[in-house]
Amino acid sequence: MYRILIFCLSAQSPFYIDAAFASHNHHHSSLTHQPSTLRRTQQLHLAPQQLGEFEPITLSGNDGQGRTQRKVWLYDFVTASNSLTVPYHAAWDLQKSIVEHQLARIGKSPKDPALYEQFIPFDSGLDQSGGIPQSLLGCDSIIMLEHDPVYTLGTASDPSFIHGYQKGDDDEEEVNTTIDNDAATSIPIVRIERGGEVTYHGPGQLVVYPIIDLRGYKQDIHWYMRALEEVIIIALEKAGVKGATREDNLTGVWIHNKKIAALGIKARRWVTMHGLAINVDVRSLQNFEGIVPCGLEGRKVTCINDEVATGDCTVGRLAVHVKEAFEEILGVSLVSPP
């Protein structure tokens, strides 16, 4: 098995750790940066939504020039590898580390000037260890990956939406509890600090975690939720899914009365974490049977390959579309760390 390098951020210095966390039944390859492709501007879906509306960001400069000045780190564990899956806690730790560096960059008082800008400067390079310089660890970042199977609960989620749920004997929350869907399957349950009810992550599903400072976009959580939905709708169109839309008074993206993508976030001092998940192939649907997804009784879930005639979309292909959609909606250019 190849050893995969995952970026690990430290308060003292950046370094790489050996991350042999991929599932043993997958083939792996070293993470490499994929060249970006040319983008076409998509028509935006500006339908009013619950608790806020989505409006595109207006940037200075013509023909996307403003984006080139707003560079954001892209931690891509999908298109840079072959079917790599990441344990939930490994990705969660990476998110929390980037958030802490963002908060350190911002400072404790809103009146304090930031230590450095949230976007990557043009002259950024490697530090002496070959990693991201300490002064850039708190720049805006987006993580894309596939998870090992896991159920996640939000801060106030009701665990009764997990079928057959039983809390463990320890005094902690559901972190170490598992649920058996059948004789061969045991799926861990993790309570995290996002909003929303229970959901499932696993192979065949693209998960994206933006850790960004909303002061560089729009200081409005509801706008941000609508922006994530807009990213999903545009990416689905690029993947051949027609008719995906929002629903009144519900978050996420739907098609034919079925949910194809979910989102849940947390923000501290306008710095976001957690994000969105899009179901790509049928593997992503199997373990939804063990829960009431997002606490919505009677609502079904679907995936891209059940909604398109070809049925051949992969997580890697969708990741390219999602990258382009994020660049368009947030007005940024995504670049891989050195």
Q: Name the residue among 289, 271, 78 with its Cα closest to residue 180.
A: 289
Dihedral sign, Cα of residue 238, residue 252, residue 53, residue 57: negative
Which one of 139, 294, 303, 313 is the catalytic residue? 294
- The dihedral sign for the CA sequence 6, 9, 13, 18: negative
Compute how many other C-beta atoms are within 10 angstroms of the C-beta atom of residue 132.
Answer: 22
Retrieve residue 282's tokens.
């049928």
Tokens, residue 39: 């983008």
8 part of the active site: no
C-beta separation of 317 from 276 below 8 A? no
Strands (E), the chain: 4-8, 15-19, 71-76, 141-145, 150-153, 177-182, 185-191, 199-201, 205-211, 245-247, 250-255, 258-268, 271-279, 300-301, 333-335
Q: Which of these, 156, 198, 192, lies nearest to 289 by C-alpha position?
A: 198
| Residue from 206, 202, 205 nearest 151 by CA | 202
* C-alpha to C-alpha distance for 181 and 13, rounded to whole angstroms: 43
CB neighbour burial string for 276-292, b if at least 16 within 10 angstroms, e if fewer: bbbbbbebbbebbebbb
Q: Are 19 and 46 contacting, i.e. CB atoms less than 8 angstroms apart?
A: no
Residues catalogued as catalytic = 294
